[in-house]
Homo-oligomer: A and B are copies of this chain.
Amino acid sequence: MDKPTIPSLEQTKRRRGSGVATVYDTLKREILELRLRPGSPIDETNLTERFGMSRTPIREALIKLSGEGLVLALPNRSTIVAPIDLLDLPQFFDALTLMYRVTTRLAAANRTAADIVAIRDLQQGYAEAVAARDVSDMIEVNRDFHSAIALAGRNRYYCELFDRLLDEGRRLLRFYYSSFNDDLPPLFLDEHEEMVRAIEASDVPAADRIAKQHADQIVRQIQAYITADRRENGDITL
C-alpha cells in the first residue's frame, strides 16, 4: 500500500510555526477524503519520518484534530482516525438540519453585498464541478458553499458547529458516493440557486423553507444508501 502524498521531502527549512499547520492541514484533508480510514491508527513516529520533523509539532497537530473530533486519542495507546458511528447518524441529521435552517435564515437577514458575491462565486464553482463530473470537487465546493452562507449569517457559534457538521458530512458523502464510482451524485444546483435567491432577497421564511427542504433531501439520500439492501447473495438457492 502506497502512502498518501508525501508533502515536502525537500528540507527547505520551513517557516517557524508552519510545522503544526502543515501536519494539521494535510491530515485533516486526508481524514475528510477518507484517504485515512476511520478507526485506523495514527503513528506519531511514522509521521515523524513522513513530514521530516520532530514529534512535537506532529503531536500538537493531533491534539488540535482531536479537539475537533477528527481523531480519537486513546491514552497511552495510538491515536486513531475518528470512526464513523452509524448509530450517531440520527443525531447528526438532526443537528445538520437545524444548522442548515438557522444559518440560511441568518444569512437572509444579515448578508451584505460582498457575501452575495462570495456565495455566488462558490455556487459557480459548484456548477463547474458538476459540469466536469468531478465528484471530489463537488463535495468540497458544496461544503464551502454552505459554509459561506453560514459566514454571511454572522454568528461564529453557528459557523463553528456547522463547519464541523459539514466536515463530518464530507466523510459521509465520500463514503456514500464511493459506491457509485461512475454514477453522478444528485445535483443540487436548482436548490442552491433558490437558496441564494432567497438570501439575496432577504426573504427569511423562504430561506428557512428551502434550507429545510435541502436538508431533508440530503438526509433522505444518505439514509436511503445506508438502509439499502446490499446483500449480493440474497437470491441464491440454498
Q: Which residues of A line the B interface, CB within 8 A?
A: 16-17, 56, 59-60, 63-64, 67-68, 75-76, 88, 91-92, 94-95, 98, 102, 154-158, 160-161, 164-165
Contacts and interface: CB of A to CB of B under 8 A. Distances in A.
A94 to B, nearest CB: 6
Question: Interface SS of chain A: helix, strand, loop or mixed?
Answer: helix
B161 A165 contact: no
Copies in the complex: 2
Most chain B CB inside 10 Å of its own CB: which residue of A59, A63, A67, A68: A63
A102 B99 CA distance: 12
Contacts of A60: 59-60, 63
A91 B155 contact: yes
Contact of A76 (B16, B59, B92): B16
Contact of A157 (B95, B154, B155): B95
A127 to B, nearest CB: 30
Enumerate the 9 nearest inter-chain pairs by beta-carbon distance, A residue then B residue, closest first. Answer: A67-B67, A95-B157, A91-B155, A161-B161, A63-B63, A17-B75, A60-B63, A64-B67, A94-B155
